[in-house]
Amino acid sequence: MTDPAAKPPRKQKANAYPWYSPRIWHGMRFRPWMRLLARHRFAFHPLRVTMALIVTIFTLFNSVFYRLQLAIWGKKLKETVPHTPMVFILGHWRSGTTFLHELMSLDEAYTSPTTMQCFGPCEFLLMEDFVTRWFSWLMPSTRPMDNMTVGWAKPQEDEFALVALGVPSPYYRMAFPDHEPDGTEYLDMDGIDPAEQAKWRECLDFFIRMVTLKRDKPIILKSPTHTGRIGFLAEMYPDAKFIHISRNPMEVFASTERLWQTMDEVQSFQHPKNPKYRQYIFECFDRMYGGYFRDADKLSSDRLIETRYEDVVADPVGELAKIYAQLGLGDFEQVRPQMEEATAESRKFVRNQHQMEEELASEIYRRWKPYFDRYGYAADGTLAEEAPKAE
């Protein structure tokens, strides 16, 4: 019997993503960019050399703007204190974190990092309004891996800002996917030197302070990479609240496979020959949920709530009301009209469909069984009649 993790994914065509549109590397500073390239011995594919040169030019500008931002706002940033309650949305890639993030970002009492802030943390205090107004044409209309709309002002994943600011991240893998994955240890923060952990803390806190200085509201952050860091983040921010969203594991796996394939087409400086996506998905899950299952139950019910994508889609306003009530996020009735209007529009969203080989489905169930059991999914990934309690 062959190993399902070793099988290559079915080839799928990514949504069009213009060559001039921003990649996550465009926001980096020069020194972290050079360190990343040096670790991978500048192993560009010939057809991606031009892209690498363009990124290098951007990193030089980013380094200058970063210093200028610090010169102008450095003192204010040190004095800025993030508002409470800070909210972290957690969950595996493709489990509905973006959908939930965009709904919650409608609440004017909170703010969320925008695409401009996450892709350009080195300059957004200087240039966000200008770029958002005059350079909307740089952004494609939808994300490359699915049909969700994008834009400079849309809420975005803060992990991209951490990449740009120079701390290691699992997303480094996308630059050179034919090499051994970079940064997977940062999915659960285990085995990392305390000094490196301190740098990561400082970087995340610095970005949060920048967003707070710009918006002056409590922040809602979303990143799948934070899932296994829940204990780490709960210690950093004792008043923080956490929302975990799960989804049919079969759908999650298939959609994540497509995600990495599509992101490599857009972000990579190679043309991957043997990226081993399925093996990588299993390895990431082990780290993410090893950390999450270890630390999640240490948090009280007023700090952590778990929901399911299927429940959010079936009754989004009802699920959001439960989240607000359990975590104490404010008066939900004040935002109910906006939520109802937004969720009426979301019903028109077309979701990708996936097929699953029987052998792979069996392997997913075997390896992810604690996830199936905790969130009430049957062996085929559908919802069980009654969700069993976590042991």
Cα distance from N-terminal residue to C-terminal residue, the chain = 33
Total count of domains within the chain: 1
pLDDT tens digits for 99-130? Answer: 999 999 999 999 999 999 999 999 999 998 88
Query: Does residue 316 belong to any structural domain of this protein?
Result: yes
| Domain contains 253 | yes
327 domain-assigned: yes
pLDDT per residue over 142-162, tens digit each?
656 555 676 778 999 999 999
Q: Which domain holds residue 333?
A: 21-375
Dihedral sign for Cα 152, 158, 160, 161, please: positive
Identify whether 5 is part of a domain: no
The 8-class DSSP code of residue 234 comes to H
219: left (phi over 0), alpha (psi -120 to 50) or beta: beta
- In a domain? residue 9: no
pLDDT higher than 80, residue 163: yes
Quote the pLDDT of residue 141: 62
Would residue 285 count as lying in a domain? yes
Distance CA 282, CA 278 (A): 6
pLDDT for res 275: 72
Q: Nearest 5 degrees, angle CA 300-CA 303-CA 305?
A: 95
CATH number of the domain within which 53 lies: 3.40.50.300
Q: pLDDT tens-digit profile of 49-108?
A: 999 999 999 999 999 999 999 999 999 999 999 999 999 999 999 999 999 999 999 999
Q: Is the pLDDT of residue 16 over 80?
A: no
E strand residue ranges, 51-184: 87-90
268 located within any domain: yes
Largest CA distance in the chain: 62
Task: Tell me whether residue 10 is in a domain.
Answer: no
The alpha-helical segments, DSSP class H, found in 216-296 are: 230-236, 249-267, 277-295
